[in-house]
């Protein structure tokens, strides 16, 4: 562990260079702001974006066609932002929200106007032009994709073309169409206009085809867009496109940033006060972690929204947790009589398995959520996964280098690192029945509350407008009112006039137009709101107050994908825990604890009537990730103690020892994460508080279940009867005397 002079200088310069580079990059940005915090794309709820509404032209469209249309539009806008949303608005409209962009016209050009697409032969084309009935060879639903290309090896004057890929059914149709129309054109008709009429040169099979001879790449790309957009099963007509302001407003961003800075400062003070030199190391590493995450979020153009922030908060919690695990082990090793050098090496060695298992388990969940999730779920998964990878790097590499540097620069006395001696053992398992009963009562109270709410004609939970829809009212005012005036002046008027408790607002950029979303209002309520607002805040001459009924923006597709992704993630976590711990009881106990935590927090939502909106899913996912990490740490200690157990070992005492020896870590980690959330709750605007509050409850519940529920469940499931290698079955090494004979 001892470094020579050259190593000390080299490693010190590397750490300083990394910290300075990340600081400069995040604060000031590199080339054209690259990598800077100001270059981070913010979601629609933080910084606004583009909102486009389409009207479905078909009458009585099927649910399947609507879902297919939403799914294809979601795929199309994913490249613009990880937090894009597509949802049904009313009975016959679909809205696309793309955060982080400001040019609605450019988006519309790239997205295209979804319309009908048909492939016609000469006979069908004649009927089409004369207004007669006809049957198309193929429709847009038969096309899987279309991409423009340039054939660089071609000697033709126009080497540009479009490559089509058909569905299985479309492949068969296209092969038959080309067979029947050799030497004749096939007309590609989009929304009543012929966009191309290539002549069939040969029978085409295999599911792909090319359209050649296009005059420019731009023309080829436009044709590809027409074909891709036309594959949507419904015909959509654009009815509005707006640049919308942030739903949370500038104040939400500023106060959240201040809260985060204060929270990090308090964390550093806490870590230094508790862990001394390791706390200083943790503070340096935490800054490097925070700067590196922000730098990577900026570099990889990850759109940041409230769910994304939840992922970052969980990442900070896990970064601190990894440090706490290591430093707690170092203190234990010093308390056991080891030298400072030996304690540092042993602490990192023994803590590695718990850190890796906890982080990998959560990383598995993040990957599954990213693959199977959509919209806010995908954004949460991206920031969570990024945070986990960076936290493992800073905890296991950066802090180890910095710790060794402090030691080699002469800070070697044990007093600078602290020590822990576990003396009195509390019997955690002895109160397991009371803990089980207490948890059952809380969960039951949640279900009873939901049942009572439902029976009284209300929703089981306090669903926000994002879940259940409502009414939008758009005012075009004479003046451009500030965000503060809207939140503190206009919104209270609407609440008082209508009697509703929830009002969301979107302010159109560089305009006096503001849209308010409320619960579904009847005619009397709408008129009361309009009269109350206009009496104090006049609208422009000639303008009217536009109202519309909207559907829940958290569409059935989004909710279904969230549910499925969580189930799959849970299964993968269960499998990983089983493989690592070689005991299905560990895996089952961990999953039961996850379900416990989710149900307890759900009970809190029900009893406290906290608003359930799009952040609800992110909150639940954060709680799951936090809980599984805390559980792994205790399970890792049980596994470690089992390795040295024998037939005389009392499993009850072993489990109590495992919980007791990690108790300080559990409390400190929970406290550090709680501090961050508490700062957000105290300093944040109302919407941020409603976001932080259930997370605070989740942190407390996760710590409680890790200590009092999870290990007890493992014990009850059969851990107390776990087969231990007996003394008789142990293969002891023979003792060899000086003469070479076995003693």
pLDDT(280) > 80: yes
- pLDDT beyond 90 at 101: no
Q: Which fold has domain 44-114?
A: Alpha-Beta Plaits (3.30.70)
Out of 368-377, 386-395, 493-502, 533-542, which region has the weakest mean confidence (pLDDT)?
Answer: 368-377
pLDDT band at 424 (very low <50, low <70, confident <90, very high): low
Kind of pairing between the strands at 187-190 and 193-196: antiparallel
Least confident of 32-41, 295-304, 638-647: 32-41
- What is the predicted pLDDT for the residue at 191? 66
Cα separation of 68 and 484, whole Å? Answer: 40
Residue 142, C-beta contacts closer than 8 angstroms, at least 6 positions apart: 119, 166, 167, 169, 170, 173, 174, 231
**108: its two tokens:** 């519309």
Q: Give the lowest-confidence range in 523-527, 631-635, 720-724.
A: 720-724
Least confident segment among 136-140, 380-384, 541-545, 627-631: 541-545
Q: Looking at 41-45, 276-280, 471-475, 617-621, which range is the least confident one?
A: 41-45
3-state secondary structure of 165: strand
pLDDT at position 724, please? Answer: 43
Residue 612: pLDDT over 70: yes
- Between 74 and 715, the more confident residue is 715
Given a cut of 80, whether residue 246 has pLDDT beyond it is no
Mean pLDDT of all residues belonging to the chain = 82
- Percentage with pLDDT > 70 across the chain: 85
Of 30-34, 70-74, 529-533, 621-625, which one has max mean pLDDT? 529-533
Q: Is the pLDDT of residue 344 over 90?
A: yes
Instruction: Specify whether the CB–CB gap between 640 and 388 falls below 8 A.
Output: no
Q: Quote the pLDDT of residue 438.
A: 96
pLDDT of residue 736: 39
CATH 3.30.70.3400 domain range(s) in the chain: 44-114, 470-550
- Average pLDDT of span 176-197: 87
**Model confidence pLDDT, tens digit, residues 448-469:** 999 998 898 778 888 876 677 7
Q: How confident is the model at residue 217 (pLDDT cuts 50, 70, 90)?
A: confident
Residue 728 has pLDDT above 60, yes or no: no
Domain 437-445+555-721: CATH superfamily is Multidrug efflux transporter AcrB transmembrane domain (1.20.1640.10)
Quote the CA–CA distance of 191 and 229 in Å, as a whole number: 11
Stretch 252-269: mean pLDDT: 79
The segment with the largest mean pLDDT, out of 74-88, 198-212, 467-481, 499-513, is 198-212
> Does residue 33 register a pLDDT over 90?
no
Coil, helix or strand for 341?
helix
**Tell me: the pLDDT tens digits for 109-154?**
666 555 667 899 999 999 999 988 899 999 877 888 888 888 877 6
**pLDDT reported for residue 457:** 78
Q: Please, which pLDDT band fits residue 632 given cuts at 50, 70 and 90?
A: confident
- What pLDDT is stored for residue 44 in this prediction? 67
Query: Where does the chain hold its CATH 3.30.1360.200 domain(s)?
Result: 117-231
Q: Tell me how far CA of residue 387 lies from CA of 38, 297, 308, 355, 393, in angstroms.
A: 19, 10, 11, 14, 10
The answer on pLDDT for 729 being more than 60 is no
Lowest mean pLDDT among 232-241, 493-502, 663-672: 232-241
Question: Which carries the bigger pLDDT value, residue 422 or residue 450?
Answer: 450
Among the listed residues 323, 328, 325, 330, the one whose alpha carbon sits nearest the alpha carbon of residue 267: 323
The domain made up of 470-550 is a member of CATH 3.40.190.10: no
Topology (CATH) of 117-231:
Gyrase A; domain 2 (3.30.1360)
Residue ranges matching CATH 1.20.1640.10 in the chain: 249-416, 437-445+555-721
Could you tell me the end-to-end alpha-carbon distance of the chain, in angstroms, rounded to an integer?
Answer: 38
The DSSP code sequence of 171-210 is HHHHHHHHHHTTTSB-EEEETTEEEE-PBP-S---SSEEE
Residue, of 493 and 36, whose pLDDT is higher:
493
Give the CATH fold of the 249-416 domain: Multidrug efflux transporter AcrB transmembrane fold (1.20.1640)
pLDDT band at 537 (very low <50, low <70, confident <90, very high): very high
Looking at the predicted structure, is the pLDDT value of residue 381 above 60? yes
Residue 587 has pLDDT above 80, yes or no: yes
């Amino acid at each position: 562990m001892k470094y020579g002079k050259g190593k000390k200088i080299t490693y010190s310069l590397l750490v300083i260079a990394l910290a300075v580079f990340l600081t400069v990059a995040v604060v000031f940005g590199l080339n054209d702001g690259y990598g800077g915090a100001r270059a981070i794309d913010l979601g629609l709820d933080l910084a606004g974006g583009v909102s486009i509404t389409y009207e479905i032209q078909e009458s009585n469209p099927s649910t399947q066609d609507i879902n297919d249309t939403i799914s294809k539009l979601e795929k199309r806008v994913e490249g613009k932002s990880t937090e894009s949303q597509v949802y049904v608005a009313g009975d016959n409209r679909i809205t696309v929200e793309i955060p982080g962009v400001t040019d609605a016209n450019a988006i519309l050009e790239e997205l295209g106007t979804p319309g009908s697409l048909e492939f016609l032969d000469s006979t069908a084309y004649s009927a089409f032009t004369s207004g007669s009935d006809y049957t198309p060879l193929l429709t847009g639903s038969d096309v899987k994709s279309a991409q423009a290309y340039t054939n660089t090896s071609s000697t033709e004057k126009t080497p540009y073309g479009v490559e089509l890929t058909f569905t299985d059914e479309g492949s068969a149709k296209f092969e038959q169409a080309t067979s029947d129309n050799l030497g004749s054109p096939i007309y590609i008709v989009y929304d009543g206009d012929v966009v191309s009429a290539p002549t069939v040169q040969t029978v085409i099979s295999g599911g792909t085809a090319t359209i050649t001879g296009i005059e420019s790449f731009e023309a080829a790309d436009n044709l590809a867009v027409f074909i891709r957009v036309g594959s949507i099963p419904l015909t959509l007509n654009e009815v509005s496109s707006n640049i919308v302001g942030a739903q949370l407003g500038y104040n939400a961003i500023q106060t959240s940033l201040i809260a985060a800075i204060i929270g990090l400062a308090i964390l550093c003070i806490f870590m230094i006060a508790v862990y001394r030199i390791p706390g200083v190391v943790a503070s340096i590493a935490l800054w490097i972690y925070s700067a590196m995450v922000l730098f990577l979020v900026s570099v990889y153009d990850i759109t940041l929204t409230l769910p994304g922030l939840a992922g970052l908060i969980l990442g900070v919690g896990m970064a601190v947790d990894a440090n706490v695990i290591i430093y707690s082990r170092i203190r234990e090793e010093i308390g056991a009589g080891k030298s400072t050098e030996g304690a540092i090496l042993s602490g990192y060695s023994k803590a590695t398995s718990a850190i890796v298992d906890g982080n990998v388990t959560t990383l598995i969940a993040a990957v599954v959520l990213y693959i199977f999730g959509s919209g806010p779920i995908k954004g949460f998964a991206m920031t969570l996964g990024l945070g986990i990878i960076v936290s493992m790097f800073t905890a296991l590499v950066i802090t180890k280098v910095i710790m060794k540097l402090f030691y080699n620069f002469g800070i070697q006395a044990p007093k600078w690192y602290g020590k822990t001696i576990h003396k009195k053992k509390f019997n955690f398992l002895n109160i397991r029945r009371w803990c089980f009963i207490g948890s059952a009562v809380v969960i039951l109270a949640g279900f009873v509350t939901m049942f009572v709410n439902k029976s009284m004609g209300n929703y089981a939970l306090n669903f926000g407008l994002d879940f259940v829809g409502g009414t939008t009212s758009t005012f075009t005012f004479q003046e451009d009112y500030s965000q503060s005036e809207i939140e503190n002046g206009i919104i209270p008027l609407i609440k008082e006039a209508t009697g509703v408790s929830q009002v969301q607002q979107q302010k159109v950029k560089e305009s006096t137009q503001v849209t308010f979303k409320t619960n579904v209002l009847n005619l009397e309520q709408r008129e009361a709101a309009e009269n109350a607002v206009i009496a104090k805040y006049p609208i422009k001459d000639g303008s009217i107050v536009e109202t519309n009924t909207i559907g829940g923006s958290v569409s059935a597709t989004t909710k279904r994908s969230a549910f499925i992704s969580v189930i799959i993630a849970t299964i993968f976590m269960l499998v990983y825990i089983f493989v690592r711990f070689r005991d299905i009881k560990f895996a089952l106990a961990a999953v039961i604890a996850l379900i416990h935590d989710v149900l307890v927090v759900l009970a809190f939502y029900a009893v406290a009537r906290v608003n359930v909106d799009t952040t609800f899913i992110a909150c639940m996912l954060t709680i799951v990730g936090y809980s599984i990490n805390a559980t792994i740490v205790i399970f890792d200690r049980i596994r470690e103690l089992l390795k040295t157990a024998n037939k005389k070992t009392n499993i009850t005492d072993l489990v109590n020892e495992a919980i007791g020896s990690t108790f300080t870590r559990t409390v400190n980690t929970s406290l550090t994460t709680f501090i961050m959330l508490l700062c957000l709750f105290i300093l944040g605007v109302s919407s941020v508080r409603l976001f932080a509050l259930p997370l605070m409850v989740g942190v407390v519940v996760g710590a409680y279940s890790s200590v009092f529920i999870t290990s007890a469940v493992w014990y009850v499931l059969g851990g107390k009867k776990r087969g231990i290698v007996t003394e008789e079955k142990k293969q002891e090494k023979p003792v060899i005397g000086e003469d070479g004979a076995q003693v």
